[in-house]
Each structure stands twice: as C-alpha cells, then as structure tokens.
Chains A and B, each alone.
Chain A
C-alpha cells in the first residue's frame, strides 16, 4: 500500500470517500437522535406528540398511523406490540435498513445506487402499497388486525 507507484492517486479516493460517506452517516446520526428522543418520550400517551389532523378530523387511519408507537415498541424489543401498531412498518423496517446498508456500501466503494430504486416502477409500487394498506386498515373487517390498537 505504501509502495504505490503513483503518489497522486491515493489521496483522491480518500477525499471522495469522506465526501460520499457523509450522506449515510448523517442519515444514521439523525435517525439515531430521533430514536433517542422517541425512546425518552412515549408516543403511546395520547397527545404526547400532538394530534394527527387526519385522525382527529376524519377518524381515518393513515398508512403510517402507529408508526411512532411501533418504532417505540421496536426500540424496546416489543415486536408484537409494534406489529399491532403498524404491521407494514414492522415489515418495512428491515427493508429500510437493507437499503441504508446498500447505500453505505455503495458510497464507501464510490458507486451509485442501483437505478431501480429511483425508477418510475418503484414510485408506483410504493404508492400502491401505501394506498392499499391505508384502505385495508380502515375496512371494518380488517381494522382489528391492521389498525393501531
């Protein structure tokens, strides 16, 4: 490593690596701070984080309803409690972690993310999944399983 023939080549990737790792690391830090704050203030108490305008005006459960409570449960190791709050979030959390790990690895090696993550199809799939989950958890037959209880 130290006996490299081109002395100008090694500093350049180091600078690029430091720059490119900023995104994943800043994201990790922000999520970590948010998780610490969330763990300190229990979202299960009503109104501890304000009131959802959609829930309080229409009574509907949005696709992310129970997300804060589910994250609090996950942070305390209560997967079943998190599942009862928002099953989609429990399913999505490992996927988000995998995407973050991919982002970190790609950034460390100086490569870009796979293009399908930002593709039209990915956007449509995300919208379809969220809208379908939002509709299903408001159906009376499925409310006991999918709505935050």
Chain B
C-alpha cells in the first residue's frame, strides 16, 4: 500500500526537473516532457521509420524514391520495388549469354530470373516480365550452347573419322 503513491510521484519529479531546469541528467526517463526537445528528436525520427509499414528490407532503394512516406507499398499495383534488381540482373545475364558469356551467364540468368519471379509473386518486385524475359533468354542460351557443343562433337567425330580414313 506504500508503493502506489510512489510511482506517480517519480514522473512528476522527472518532468519538473527536465522542464524547469533543463537538466540533461535523465532525458530519456521523461519521454513526454516538453522541455527536453534536443534529445527527443533522434528517438522520434527512429521510431517513425520502422513503425511506418514494416518494410521487409529497408535498403537504399525506398529512400531515394519515396523519402518520407511509406517506402515500399506505394506502388499502384500494390507491389514493392525492393527486389527489382533481380529482374534487371536476370535480363542482363540473359542478354550477355547471347552476346558473349554463353552458358556461364545463361544458367545464372535462369536462377536469378526464377528468384525474381518469386519475389514478384510475393509482392516484393513489380518487374515480373523482366525476370520472365531473363529466364526465357537464359533457357535459349542454354539450348544454343547445347546445340553448339553438339555440332562441335559431330564435327570432331566426322573430322577424326575422315582424317583417319583419308590418311590411312
């Protein structure tokens, strides 16, 4: 019975100390105190950021596009752009598989593209078409590599047999 009157007395004392004297001794003990404005700004800014919409991956992407408001869910289709880089990577790898890298970027294009499609289905990306294009280009690149290697093998077999028959 002696404790209940003690509890409401403590915040009153803290508020009186912080408001009247502006004492920096315990600025976090009185969060609602009107006097301690400088130490309140960092917690207020930090508290608003994670409490907004619970963005899954904060990252650097939502910040430049939508600095203040809800970072990840303002897309008109209700999809985030957090994992859009997967689709871009899939498309780049798919194109590079044609231009130069062959199967060494075609297989990653298929893998990354499937991850990008998965992210788009989960609402974490809005460029599902880009991922799909990367997957398709990757499969075409794989098929072309198989065809080319098959042609090589056929040519080598033919060349060896022709060379052996003509020389002997």
Whether the Cβ atoms of A63 and B89 lie closer than 8 Å is no
Which listed residue, A53, A116, A130, touches B99 by the CB 8 Å rule?
A130
Q: Is B23 an interface residue (CB 8 A)?
A: no
Inter-chain residue pair count (beta carbon < 8 A): 40
Q: Is B28 an interface residue (CB 8 A)?
A: no
Whether the Cβ atoms of A120 and B100 lie closer than 8 Å is no
CA distance A51 to B85 in the complex (A): 34
Whether the Cβ atoms of A130 and B96 lie closer than 8 Å is yes
- Chain A interface mostly helix, strand, loop or mixed? helix
- Chain A: residues with Cβ within 8 Å of the partner, total of 20
Interface readout for B98-120 with A: 1 if CB under 8 Å, 0 if not?
01110000000000000000000
Q: Is A127 an interface residue (CB 8 A)?
A: yes
Whether the Cβ atoms of A134 and B100 lie closer than 8 Å is yes
Q: Find the B residue at minimum CB distance from A126.
A: B92
Q: Is A30 an interface residue (CB 8 A)?
A: no
What is the distance, in angstroms, from A83's C-beta to the closest C-beta of chain B?
19
Q: Is B152 an interface residue (CB 8 A)?
A: yes
Whether the Cβ atoms of A127 and B85 lie closer than 8 Å is no
Q: Find the B residue at minimum CB distance from A118.
A: B85
CA distance A104 to B120 in the complex (A): 31
CA distance A65 to B99 in the complex (A): 11
Whether the Cβ atoms of B88 and A62 lie closer than 8 Å is no
Which listed residue, A53, A62, A127, touches B92 by the CB 8 Å rule?
A127
CA distance A54 to B141 in the complex (A): 13
CA distance A65 to B96 in the complex (A): 13
Whether the Cβ atoms of A53 and B100 lie closer than 8 Å is no
Q: Is B95 an interface residue (CB 8 A)?
A: yes
Can you offer 17 A-B residue contacts whose CB atoms are under 8 A?
A50-B149, A54-B100, A62-B100, A63-B100, A64-B100, A65-B100, A115-B59, A120-B85, A123-B88, A123-B92, A124-B92, A126-B92, A127-B92, A127-B95, A130-B96, A130-B99, A134-B100
Binding site for A on B (CB under 8 A): 59-60, 84-85, 88-89, 92, 95-96, 99-101, 144, 148-149, 152
